[in-house]
Amino acid sequence: MHDGCSGNFTNGKQMADKVRMMGFSDGAMPMPLQIKCTNCEETFEMTTFEAKCPNCDMVYAVTPCSCFDPSKVMPAGINY
């Protein structure tokens, strides 16, 4: 699924599962990101490696290796 910082994810569920498995889902990101929700188009600040849109509960995840690049944040699903 993912090998260090060189791997790729095919979907957001894989990324969320990996972040949870590594124990980083509730960890604070070094720099918060502004994320536009792909479901409801609400913009919110992502401050942890796993976050939920406050408007529609779409879950987003990003690995620590990619947390400075908003294009690497992936949606995992509503209430995933």
Q: How do the pLDDT tens digits run along the chain, 80 residues long? A: 445 565 678 999 999 999 999 999 999 999 999 999 999 999 999 999 999 999 999 999 999 999 999 999 999 999 99
Supply the pLDDT for residue 72: 93
Count the neighbouring beta carbons within 10 Å of the beta carbon of residue 49.
26
Supply the pLDDT for residue 5: 66
The Cα 5–Cα 46 span in angstroms is 20
The Cα 77–Cα 69 span in angstroms is 20
Q: pTM for this one? A: 0.91
Supply the pLDDT for residue 7: 62
